[in-house]
Structure 1
Amino acid sequence: HLDIWGKNRAEVTARLGTVKARAAEREQTRQLLAGSVARLYWEWQTQAALNTVLQQIEKEQNTIIATDRQLYQNGITSSVDGVETDINASKTRQQLNDVAGKMKIIEARLSALTNHQTKSLKLKPVALPKVASQLPDELGYSLLAQRADLQAAHWYVESSLSTIDAAKAAFYPDINLMAFLQQDALHLSDLFRHSAQQMGVTAGLTLPIFDSGRLNANLDIAKAESNLSITSYNKAVVEAVNDVARAASQVQTLAEKNQHQAQIERDALRVVGLAQARFNAGIIAGSRVSEARIPALRERANGLLLQGQWLDASIQLTGALGGGYKR
């Protein structure tokens, strides 16, 4: 078969573009799954770290409660003095229960996504990554080329353009060389002569130009589908830019909040240091040191939540930039 007008080549290119587009779509699905697993994993780590801090708070509260009870038993204080501490301890216990519940839910979701039984899912607490102070000065537009969804849209455009080429080539004669095996030697120019001597070649020569209505319709459809693919691609690019802008803004905002929170935690620790120094000097009781530690631990808990939010936003930004997808 002689593909003079490139119809077959265009059809193959169109099919190849579709194959590549579908491969990119499968990669996008894989990336979405990987991103979801990563976000859940670090959410679990955040809750695990929060659980540790809440346990430390509960320990300090129990120290204060024990001291208050001893003072009450010795007739130094009234029974009312320890009520607030008891209430706060109950709140902390409730927070611990809430965190434990969240961790179990996350474990169940991770098991579903990774196809593991919840019992076989062994997660160990690890330190959360440090918060980067700021994003790079430049996030180049070319980074979007790593997005699998844009690659899929790109290949659909390429496929649609090749489909147009194939539809255009269909207007020209389609030559089957096998039909000429019993014919005399022919030249390319002979194929388009309509002399009686060459009438026999019609078995191997189709002239679809006589079916121009159908061919024009096919070409119009191919052009319309190509325009739709191009429109979808352009829309996907705009949405991708917006995704990156939103994610980057969120990461930057949370980085600034983390910096502010870190300063608050340092100030709270200085208060603890002063209380510890006064205790070492015999000026205050040990329960007063515990009272100073609790606010500092509360701020540490707030810091962990902010750190977890920054980490989650960073994972989303990585996904918006393609997650390292390579064509």
Structure 2
Amino acid sequence: MSAEGLMGPFALNDPAAGTTGPWYTNGTFGLTAGWHLDIWGKNRAEVTARLGTVKARAAEREQTRQLLAGSVARLYWEWQTQAALNTVLQQIEKEQNTIIATDRQLYQNGITSSVEGVETDINASKTRQQLNDVAGEMKIIEARLNALTNHQTKSLKLKPVTLPKVASQLPDELGYSLLARRADLQAAHWYVESSLSTIDAAKAAFYPDINLMAFLQQDALHLSDLFRHSAQQMGVTAGLTLPIFDSGRLNANLDIAKAESNLSIASYNKAVVEAVNDVRGRPARFRHWRRKTSIRRKLSTMPCVW
């Protein structure tokens, strides 16, 4: 019964049995729209936090890609270095075999004693041992490259190439502005930004929520009346949510957000310190390597006495 005292269909008795009963239909279709008034910026803060997390994970993926590419390049040139060393050792072994053959010929002719060729035989044995070690190291590097490049089913076909001449020179000082390009610091930075936005969203949750909703629909008890003007309905409603009895949960969420933010900031500070130490140490290691290589080259150019 309506507010005007009018009886609706089947208000007093059920529909007659037969093809039209004892059942009836109810049809409804329409449009509903809602608007959440983000007065306190809760939704904006949550979106910013999610975007920060997405950017941080993208930076982590880039860091992983850089580490993988660097590892593959380093192992490749390490393999080429071992291949070059293998070539040099083969040349040395060939020369040593020539000397051994000459010593044996001199001994057979009675010119020298057998003791004089012992040292050469020992050196040749050491060279063969070094060749075996280099071959084993090359196999290990190939296995690691297969794992990094996902070539488990088939082995890599590496060919020795000429080692490039390194003509680059690092500056005496590396500015800290280069730190901003590191993917690990970018990831840590975006995690901090995301955590700060999460705190803002947790604080905004303490304030009232206001929602607006509007609807336009056709509602009829009989499907034949669904498209009549009398079945049309429309309206606008407003909702207000007050977190009066939810302070415990909201305070806990805020404490968790602050703790996670402090952890993100601490992780960022640690990453910055490690990056600074890395930037400081790399030039020193590079110069030490250059001096060591220069000394080796000078020693290799000195005449050898057999």
Query: TM-score, with normalisation over the residues of structure 1?
Result: 0.64
> d(CA) in 2 for partners of 1:28 and 1:170?
35
Structure 1 residue ranges without an equivalent (≥5): 244-276, 280-327
Matched, 1:11 2:46: yes
By percentage of residues, which structure has more strand?
2
Deviation at 1:214, TM superposition (A): 2.5
> Structure 2, unaligned stretches of length 5 or more?
1-35, 279-283, 287-306
Residue pair 1:180, 1:204 contacting (<8 A) in 2 also: no
Residue 177 (structure 2) aligns with: 142
- Residue 217 of structure 1 and its aligned partner are, at CA, apart by 2.3
Shift of 1:185: 28
1:75-224 to structure 2, matched below 5 A, reads 75-117=110-152, 119-132=154-167, 134-178=169-213, 204-209=239-244, 211-224=246-259
In 2, Cα distance between the equivalents of 1:80 and 1:26? 64
Greater mean alpha carbon deviation, residues 128-137 or residues 183-192: 183-192
Tell me how far 1:156 sits from its aligned partner: 0.7
Contact 1:37 1:113 in 2 (8 A): yes
Deviation at 1:61, TM superposition (A): 0.8
**Given the superposition, is the C-alpha separation of residues 188 and 178 from structure 1 closer, same or farther in structure 2, using an over 3 Å criterion?**
farther
Structure 2 residue matching 1:183: 3-state secondary structure: strand
Alignment length, in residue pairs? 246
What TM-score, normalized to structure 2?
Answer: 0.69
Shift of 1:167: 1.0
1:192: Cα distance to partner?
39
Given the superposition, is the C-alpha separation of residues 195 and 218 from structure 1 closer, same or farther in structure 2, using an over 3 Å criterion? Answer: farther
Q: CA RMSD in A?
A: 9.0
Contact 1:7 1:166 in 2 (8 A): yes
Q: Secondary structure at the match of 2:137?
A: helix
- Per-residue deviation, 1:130: 2.9
Instruction: Please tell me whether the aligned partners of residues 107 and 118 of structure 1 are also in contact (alpha carbons under 8 angstroms).
Output: no
**Aligned mates of 1:99, 1:186 — CA distance in 2:** 89
> Judging changes above 3 Å, is the alpha-carbon distance between structure 1 residues 102 and 181 closer, same or farther for their aligned structure 2 residues?
same
**Structure with the larger helix share:** 1
CA distance in 2, matches of 1:46, 1:231: 41
Alpha carbons of structure 1 residues 208 and 150: separation in structure 2 relative to 1, 3 Å: same
Distance verdict in 2 for CA 1:143–1:181, change over 3 Å:
farther
Aligned-pair identity in percent equals: 98
Contact 2:225 2:231 in 1 (8 A): no
Q: Could you tell me how far 1:27 is from its partner in structure 2?
A: 1.8
Alpha-carbon distance in structure 2 between the residues aligned to 1:20 and 1:48? 42
> In structure 2, do the counterparts of structure 1 residues 103 and 191 end up closer, same or farther at CA, with 3 Å as the change threshold?
farther
Aligned partners of 1:208 and 1:278: how far apart in 2? 59
